[in-house]
Structure 1
Amino acid sequence: MDTQNRNVRMTAQAPDATQWEANDDWARQWVASTVDYSVFRITTDGRIASWNEGGIRIEGYRPAEIIGQHFSVLYTDDDRRDGIPEAVMESARRHGRHDSEGWRQRGDGGTFWASVVTTALRDRRGEFSGAVQVVRDVSENRRSHEAVIESERRFRLLVQGVTDYAIFMLSPEGCVTNWNSGARRIKGYTEEEIVGSHFSRFYTPEDAAAGLPQRGLQAAARDGRFEAEGWRVRSDGTTFWAHVVIDAIYEDDGTLLGFAKITQDITERRQAHELLEKTQAALFQAQKMEAIGKLTGGVAHDFNNVLQVLRGNLELLENRHSRDVWSRERLAHAIDAVERGAKLASQLLAFGRRQALRPVVVNLAAMVRGTDSMLARALGETINVETVVAAGLWNTLVDTHQLENVLLNLAINARDAMPGGGRLTIELANAMLDDRYVRPLSDVPAGQYVMLGVTDTGIGMPPEIVERAFDPFFTTKPEGQGTGLGLSMAYGFVKQSGGHIRIYSEVGHGTTVRIYLPRSMDTAVDLLARHEHPVKVGGRETILVVEDDANVQSTVVDMLTELGYSVLKADNAEQALTVLRSGIHIDVLFTDVVMPGPLRSPEMARQAALLLPHLKILFTSGYTQNAIVHAGRLDAGVELLSKPYSQEELAHKLRYILGTPGEAIAATAGSGDTVQAGAVPVPEGPLHILVAEDDTDSLDAACEILQMLGHDAAKATDATQAMERLRARRFDVLLTDLNLPGASGIELAKQAVAVHPRLHVVFASGDELPDNVLFDFSHNRLRKPYAVNELDDVLRAIQRALHAAGR
Structure 2
Amino acid sequence: MMTPLRMLLLDRRTNADIIIDTLRQAGFVPAWQCVQTESDYLAHLRDSIEMIVAAYALPQLPALRALELLRERGLDIPLIIIADRLREDQVVAGLKQGAADYVVKQRLERLGPAVSQALRDKMQSHGEPERPDKAEALRASEGRLQLLIAKNVDGVVVINRHGVIRFANPAAEKLFARPAMELVGEPFGFPMVVGETTELDIVRRGSNLVVAEMRVVETEWEGEAAYLASLRDISERKRAEEMLRQQGEQLRQARNMETVGQLAGGMAHEFNNLLTAILGYSDLLQKYLANMAHLHGYAKQISDVAHQAASLVQQLLAFARQQVLKPQILNCNNIVHETQDMLRSSLGDQIELINHLEPHLGLIEADPIQLQQVLLNLLVNARDAMPEGGKLRVSTANVDLNERHQERYLNAPPGTYMRLTVSDTGEGMEPDVMSRLFEPFFTTKEVGKGMGLGLAVVYGIVQQNRGDIEIRSAPAAGTTVHIYLPHVARASEPVALPKPAAEAPSGSETVLLVEDDHIVRLLIRSTLELKGYDVLDAADAEEAIRLCEQRDASIDLLVTDVVMPGMNGPALAAHLTSFYPEMRALLISGYSLDNLRTNAAADAAIAFLSKPFTMDELADRVRVVLDNSPADV
**TM-score of the pair, normalised by structure 2:** 0.69
Q: RCO greater where, 1 or 2, for CA within 8 Å and sep 6 or more?
A: 2
Q: 1:544 to 1:377 in 2, by over 3 A?
A: farther
Task: State the Cα distance separating 1:282 from its structure 2 match.
Answer: 1.7
Give the partner amino acid of 1:286. A
| Partner Cα separation in structure 1 for residue 205 and residue 346 of structure 2 | 57
| Partner Cα separation in structure 2 for residue 388 and residue 562 of structure 1 | 55
Q: Does 1:391 align with 2:359?
A: yes
Which of 581, 604, 607 does residue 639 from structure 1 map onto? 607
Q: Does 1:167 align with 2:156?
A: yes
Q: Does 1:247 align with 2:217?
A: yes
Which of 530, 536, 559 does residue 562 from structure 1 map onto? 530
Give 1:151-190 correspondences, 5 Å limit.
158-163=148-153, 165-174=154-163, 176-189=165-178
| Secondary structure in 2 matching 1:439 | helix
Task: State the Cα distance separating 1:648 from its structure 2 match.
Answer: 2.9
Residues 342-397 of structure 1, C-alpha deviation per residue, up to 9 Å, x if partnerless? 11222112212222323333222233334455435776888775554212111222
Q: 1:396 to 1:281 in 2, by over 3 A?
A: same
| Partner Cα separation in structure 2 for residue 307 and residue 233 of structure 1 | 62
**CA contact 1:362–1:526 (8 Å) conserved in 2:** no
Task: State the Cα distance separating 1:399 from its structure 2 match.
Answer: 1.9
Q: 1:235 to 1:337 in 2, by over 3 A?
A: closer
Task: State the Cα distance separating 1:440 from its structure 2 match.
Answer: 4.8
Aligned residues with identical type, % of pairs: 34
**CA contact 1:188–1:236 (8 Å) conserved in 2:** no
| Partner Cα separation in structure 2 for residue 383 and residue 113 of structure 1 | 84
Specify every segment of 5 or more residues in structure 1 that has no aligned partner in the other structure, as ranges.
2-57, 59-111, 117-135, 201-211, 662-671, 676-807
Identify the range of structure 1 (479-488 vs 328-337) with the bigger mean alpha-carbon deviation: 479-488
Give the partner amino acid of 1:159. I
| Partner Cα separation in structure 2 for residue 626 and residue 496 of structure 1 | 10
Q: 1:237 to 1:321 in 2, by over 3 A?
A: closer
Q: 1:421 to 1:155 in 2, by over 3 A?
A: closer
Q: 1:320 to 1:408 in 2, by over 3 A?
A: farther
- In the alignment of these two chains, the number of paired residues is 507
Residues 408-458 of structure 1, C-alpha deviation per residue, up to 9 Å, x if partnerless? 333444454456777654432223345455435533434322122334555
**CA contact 2:350–2:389 (8 Å) conserved in 1:** yes
| Partner Cα separation in structure 1 for residue 143 and residue 283 of structure 2 | 97
Q: Does 1:402 align with 2:370?
A: yes
**CA contact 1:384–1:424 (8 Å) conserved in 2:** yes
Task: State the Cα distance separating 1:337 from its structure 2 match.
Answer: 0.9
Q: Does 1:650 align with 2:618?
A: yes
Aligned match of 1:773:
none
Q: 1:371 to 1:225 in 2, by over 3 A?
A: closer
Aligned match of 2:291:
323
Residues 747-784 of structure 1, C-alpha deviation per residue, up to 9 Å, x if partnerless? xxxxxxxxxxxxxxxxxxxxxxxxxxxxxxxxxxxxxx
Specify every segment of 5 or more residues in structure 2 that has no aligned partner in the other structure, as ranges.
2-47, 49-118
Task: State the Cα distance separating 1:161 from its structure 2 match.
Answer: 3.4
Give 1:609-758 correspondences, 5 Å limit.
609-623=577-591, 628-629=596-597, 638-661=606-629, 674=632
Task: State the Cα distance separating 1:596 from its structure 2 match.
Answer: 0.9
Q: Does 1:307 align with 2:275?
A: yes
| Partner Cα separation in structure 2 for residue 301 and residue 428 of structure 1 | 35
Give the partner amino acid of 2:609. L
Q: Does 1:339 align with 2:283?
A: no
**CA contact 2:593–2:608 (8 Å) conserved in 1:** no
| Partner Cα separation in structure 2 for residue 376 and residue 638 of structure 1 | 42
| Secondary structure in 1 matching 2:577 | helix
Q: Does 1:586 align with 2:575?
A: no
Residues 295-336 of structure 1, C-alpha deviation per residue, up to 9 Å, x if partnerless? 111211211111111111111111111222222222111111
Give 1:409-558 correspondences, 5 Å limit.
409-417=377-385, 424-456=392-424, 460-505=428-473, 510-526=478-494, 534=502, 536-558=504-526
| Partner Cα separation in structure 2 for residue 113 and residue 495 of structure 1 | 75
| Secondary structure in 2 matching 1:574 | helix
Superposition RMSD in Å: 4.1
| Secondary structure in 2 matching 1:375 | helix
Q: 1:152 to 1:649 in 2, by over 3 A?
A: same
**CA contact 2:577–2:583 (8 Å) conserved in 1:** yes
Task: State the Cα distance separating 1:245 from its structure 2 match.
Answer: 2.6
**CA contact 2:329–2:366 (8 Å) conserved in 1:** yes
| Partner Cα separation in structure 1 for residue 521 and residue 589 of structure 2 | 12
Which of 193, 202, 207 does residue 232 from structure 1 map onto? 202
Which of 252, 265, 277 does residue 233 from structure 2 map onto? 265
Give the partner amino acid of 2:561. D
Give the partner amino acid of 1:183. A
Aligned match of 1:358:
326
Q: 1:236 to 1:483 in 2, by over 3 A?
A: closer
| Partner Cα separation in structure 2 for residue 381 and residue 538 of structure 1 | 52
| Partner Cα separation in structure 2 for residue 652 and residue 575 of structure 1 | 27
Q: 1:436 to 1:547 in 2, by over 3 A?
A: same
Residues 520-567 of structure 1, C-alpha deviation per residue, up to 9 Å, x if partnerless? 224355486997964613333322111111111010112222333332
Aligned match of 2:571:
603
| Partner Cα separation in structure 2 for residue 489 and residue 115 of structure 1 | 81
| Partner Cα separation in structure 1 for residue 432 and residue 322 of structure 2 | 28
| Partner Cα separation in structure 1 for residue 121 and residue 279 of structure 2 | 115
Aligned match of 1:744:
none
| Partner Cα separation in structure 1 for residue 448 and residue 120 of structure 2 | 101
Identify the range of structure 1 (491-500 vs 397-406) with the bigger mean alpha-carbon deviation: 397-406
Identify the range of structure 1 (506-515 vs 539-548) with the bigger mean alpha-carbon deviation: 506-515
| Partner Cα separation in structure 1 for residue 382 and residue 364 of structure 2 | 25
| Partner Cα separation in structure 2 for residue 634 and residue 455 of structure 1 | 43
**TM-score of the pair, normalised by structure 1:** 0.55
**CA contact 1:307–1:342 (8 Å) conserved in 2:** yes
| Secondary structure in 2 matching 1:468 | coil
Q: 1:259 to 1:424 in 2, by over 3 A?
A: closer
Q: 1:233 to 1:317 in 2, by over 3 A?
A: closer
Q: 1:114 to 1:398 in 2, by over 3 A?
A: closer
Residues 660-702 of structure 1, C-alpha deviation per residue, up to 9 Å, x if partnerless? 44xxxxxxxxxx9757xxxxxxxxxxxxxxxxxxxxxxxxxxx
Aligned match of 1:286:
254
| Secondary structure in 2 matching 1:493 | helix
